[in-house]
Each structure stands twice: as structure tokens, then as C-alpha cells.
Amino acid sequence: MWEVILAITGLVILMVVSFAIWRSMSVVALSRRLCASESRINSILNATEEGIYGLDLEGNCTFSNAACARMLGYENEEKLTGKNMHDLLHHTHADGSPHPVGECPINRALQEGREAHVDNDIFWKSDGTSFPTEYWTYPVRRDVELIGSVVTFININGRKEVQAQLIQTSKLATLGELAASTVHEINQPLSIIGMAADGALERLKDDDVDKDMLSNKLTTIASQTERLAAIVNHMGLFSRKDDGVFEWFNACESVHGAIEMVAEQYHASGIKLEVISPRECNVCGRVRGHPHQLEQVLLNLLSNARKATLKIAASKNAKNGAFVPTVRVSLKENKANSVDIISISNNGGNIPYGVLKKIFDPFFTTERKGEGTGLGLSISRDIIRGMNGIINVYNTEGGVCFTIILPVAPGKGKPRGRPRRKGAEEMFADNLIPDALKGLIVENEKDIADRDGPAKTQM
């Protein structure tokens, strides 16, 4: 009997020991697999040139890769773990104004459990310098519970440099198009100055010089010299390469500047130019960007409008001669939504829907080979995006309208911080227009429809 009991006991002990050994070996094997898996994940994370970091619900770093630490100026990833990432890299705007965490696109996407994409922002490094970046953020869930997010980012300094070169090249190309009318603009005051000077010299030959007449001649010379200097100075400022630093300025000034540069060209081409804008620029809100870059966008749109209307005029006037090529420029401030709305419409015919969908794509052009690069509207879109704005195009009755919507600063003076618009950080994801501003575009279309007839809008 005892032998049986001892045998059974030994067998049980053997089974327990075997199970313990098996379990221990399983744990070791599992641990090895986990270590190998973690090593593979770390290798993948550290092999990419994109910066990657994770956030918990408080915005603290849960992990990061080597590229993230390197781009942010830290020795290794451990220096970031547990730190609040907004406080480290996203605390201040490029203009030096504070960037509250409540307005941070990354934090807002984290709290709302959604994705977000921003293609033009800055991150700050450990040494106090910053770099331009494009980033994406994605929610992380355990089953259905939101537990954090993952952020990936890249340094777009090279892209910004290329973009700056393209903008500068586009400026010079615009000046080239305006060269003929500019020559006339310069020749006119020069001719007046020459005639006034000749008249004054002739009168100086007389013994009895009429001082009033001489004063009038000199006044004419002085005023025309000022006009000439203004033209040359404006072209010099426009052609100058931007320093990359945004400033607060009045959009009305850019509108008036662009109109002044094309007015003579339009007049010589027989195009009717209508301007609906405040006479005093200081009544409009201030926008953030480069004044001459906004002017460049407007000049590009005005140049395209000129070509479109002249093309229609050439065909219609050949038939009945009753067509009047017309371009209308409108600027108004929507104070309820804190935005400026600039519209440039023309009666140069509709754009086919297939073209409308691609009109802002780089290198897309409907012009003949050698007549255009297809970069004008793409650069214009990038400039407006950089100003945190929207550019949109749609067909009207017999023509086309481009609408630019720009956020303005609160008040008339320099704002304390960057203007915030609902959904600003996601507005350009997949080229979607935020719901908060769709109503403004629809309202603007209605205004044009009331003037020009029913609109055939194609977004």
C-alpha cells in the first residue's frame, strides 16, 4: 500500500517539477521572443529618417526614436521619455508669440482621438533654435479605449528653400510679363519731366523770368519724379527676396499694389477693371505673411484673368464686337469670422470640371508648350496656405472666380498672438475646406451670383 502511495506521490512531484521546468522554459522563450520583437521594432523605428514619438493622454512622451532625438537636439531617446512634448518643442510660434497647448493641433487631435496633418509649422530644438516641419498624428487605442497618440514628423527646411527659390523665380517671371506696361509707366513721367524741364529752360532765356511759371514747372518735375521713384521702388521691393520672417500687414495694401502694377497693362489691352475695396486700408484687419508674396498671388490671378478674357474677346468680338472683357477685384472683411475675403472674378469663360480639380497641382497647365510652367497657381496655393488661409476657385455665369480667405488679427494694431481659426490645423488635409469657412465661400458665391447672374459652381 505504502509503495503505491509513494509511487503516486513521486509521480505527482515529477509532474509538478516537469510543469515548473516547462513553464520556466516557456517564460524564457516568450521573454526572448518579446526581446527579439522589441529589438526588431526599435531597429525599424531607428532605421527611419522620420522623427517618431508617442504620447500618453497627458501629452507626455512614452517613447521616441533616434531620428526624433537627433532632430530635436537631444543625446538620446531617454532624454525625452516622460517629458511634456508641447513644452519641449511646440511652445512658441515662429513670430515669438506663445503657442497655448489648447491651440496646439497635436494636443487637440490627442484629446479628440482623431488624426491630424499639418504641412507647415515649426518645432523647437533643445538649443533654442527652430526648424520648419510637417507632421502627422494618429490616435492609439487599446480595444476601444483611447490611450494616447503617435506623432511622426520631418524637417522640411530643404523643401522651404526650394519653395523660396520658386517663389522668387515666379516673381521675376511676373515682372517680365509686366515689363512692357512698366516701360510705359516709366516713360510717361519721364516725358512730362522732360517737357517741363525744356519749358523751364526756355523761359530762363528771357530776361524777365516768370517765377510763378517756373515754380509750377519745378513742382511738376518734383511730383513726376516722386511718381517715377514710387514705381521703381515698388518694383524693387516686389522683386526682393523675402527674408522668410512673417509680419502683420494690411491685405488692402497688397490688393492696391497689385492693381497699380496691372492697371496700365489692362488699359492698353482694353480690359475693364472694376475694384470694390475700402478707400482707406486701415479699416481692414491685419493678416500675417509677406505683403509682396500676397501681391504676387494677386498678380498671378490677374495675369491669368487677363489672358482668359482676351482669349474670349478675340473670338466673340470677331462675331459681333459687343463683348467687353471685364475683371472684378473685391476685398471685404468678415468681422463675424475674423477673416479678409479677396475675390478676383472675370468673364473669360468657365473652366472644365476636370481642369478645376487639378488646377492647383504643380506643373499642371492648359497653355501651349513653352508658354507656362504650370507652377503659378501651385505656388499661389502654397503662399496662401503659409498664411493659414484658403484659396478656392469656382465657375460663375460666363466666367471664373478665385476667392482667398485669410484670418485677421483681433483689433487694428499688432496682435498679441497668432490668430486662431477653428479647424485651421486640418483644413488642408486632402484639400478639404473646413466647415467653419464653407459658409463664407457660399456667401461669396451668392454675392457674385447676385451681380453676374446664377453661378455654376464647381468646387
Domain boundary among 94, 125, 155: 155
Considering the domain architecture, whether residues 126 and 182 belong to the same structural domain is answered as no
259 vs 409, higher pLDDT: 259
Asked whether the beta carbons of 137 and 123 are under 8 A apart, the reply is no
Considering the domain architecture, whether residues 184 and 266 belong to the same structural domain is answered as no
Q: Is residue 353 part of a domain?
A: yes
Q: Is residue 52 part of a domain?
A: yes
Count structural domains, the chain: 4
Asked whether the beta carbons of 366 and 354 are under 8 A apart, the reply is no
Distance set, CA 177 to CA 196, 265, 306 (Å): 31, 10, 12
Q: Is residue 459 part of a domain?
A: no
Q: What is the pLDDT of residue 315?
A: 78
Lowest-confidence region among 189-198, 204-213, 227-236: 227-236
Considering the domain architecture, whether residues 22 and 56 belong to the same structural domain is answered as no
Look at residue 266 and tell me whether its pLDDT is greater than 70: yes
**What angle is formed at CA 149 by the lines to CA 433 and CA 42, rounded to 5 degrees?**
125
Closest by CA position to 104, among listed 426, 386, 381, 434: 426
Q: How far apart are the first and last CA of the chain?
A: 93
CATH code: domain of residue 177: 1.10.287
Considering the domain architecture, whether residues 170 and 132 belong to the same structural domain is answered as no
Q: Mapped to the 3 state alphabet, what secondary structure does 64-122 carry?
A: ECHHHHHHHCCCCHHHCCCCEHHHHHCCECCCCCECCHHHCHHHHHHHHCCCEEEEEEE
56 lies in which domain range? 48-155
Cβ within 8 Å of residue 232, ≥6 positions away: 186
Cβ within 8 Å of residue 414, ≥6 positions away: 248, 286
Mean pLDDT of 125-148: 91
175 vs 205, higher pLDDT: 205
Rounded Cα distance between 298 and 292, Å, is 10
Q: What is the pLDDT of residue 433?
A: 38
CATH code: domain of residue 56: 3.30.450.20
Rounded Cα distance between 324 and 317, Å, is 9
Considering the domain architecture, whether residues 252 and 235 belong to the same structural domain is answered as no
Domain boundary among 115, 132, 155: 155
Q: What is the pLDDT of residue 31?
A: 59
Considering the domain architecture, whether residues 272 and 414 belong to the same structural domain is answered as yes
Q: What is the pLDDT of residue 139?
A: 93
Q: What is the pLDDT of residue 220?
A: 74
Considering the domain architecture, whether residues 439 and 312 belong to the same structural domain is answered as yes
pLDDT in tens, 289-343: 888 888 888 988 998 898 889 888 887 655 566 788 999 999 888 877 788 889 9
pLDDT in tens, 80-95: 999 999 999 999 988 7
Considering the domain architecture, whether residues 264 and 229 belong to the same structural domain is answered as no
Q: Is residue 87 part of a domain?
A: yes
pLDDT bucket at 148, cuts 50 / 70 / 90: very high
Q: What is the pLDDT of residue 243?
A: 60
Q: Is 343 helix (H, G, I), strand (E, B) or coil?
A: strand
State the CB neighbour count (10 A cutoff) for residue 199.
Answer: 15
Closest by CA position to 133, among listed 107, 108, 152, 114: 152
Q: Is residue 64 part of a domain?
A: yes
Rounded Cα distance between 112 and 110, Å, is 6
CATH code: domain of residue 424: 3.30.565.10
Percent of the chain whose predicted confidence (pLDDT) is above 70: 58
Q: Is residue 78 part of a domain?
A: yes
| Element (DSSP H or E) covering residue 299 | helix 291-316
Domain boundary among 155, 187, 212: 155
DSSP 8-state code for residue 60: B
φ/ψ region of 59 (left if φ > 0, alpha if ψ in -120 to 50, else beta) reads: left
Asked whether the beta carbons of 133 and 123 are under 8 A apart, the reply is yes
Rounded Cα distance between 227 and 243, Å, is 27
Cβ within 8 Å of residue 322, ≥6 positions away: 316
Q: What is the pLDDT of residue 234?
A: 59
Considering the domain architecture, whether residues 294 and 411 belong to the same structural domain is answered as yes
Considering the domain architecture, whether residues 56 and 129 belong to the same structural domain is answered as yes
Considering the domain architecture, whether residues 220 and 122 belong to the same structural domain is answered as no
**What angle is formed at CA 244 by the lines to CA 238 and CA 248, rounded to 5 degrees?**
75
Q: What is the pLDDT of residue 238?
A: 56
Structure pTM?
A: 0.54
DSSP 8-state code for residue 453: S
Considering the domain architecture, whether residues 129 and 11 belong to the same structural domain is answered as no
283 vs 425, higher pLDDT: 283
pLDDT bucket at 418, cuts 50 / 70 / 90: very low
Look at residue 12 and tell me whether its pLDDT is greater than 50: yes
Q: Is residue 457 part of a domain?
A: no
Lowest-confidence region among 75-89, 149-163, 429-443: 429-443
Q: Is residue 458 part of a domain?
A: no
Q: What is the pLDDT of residue 82?
A: 92
pLDDT bucket at 38, cuts 50 / 70 / 90: low
pLDDT bucket at 240, cuts 50 / 70 / 90: low
Asked whether the beta carbons of 436 and 388 are under 8 A apart, the reply is no
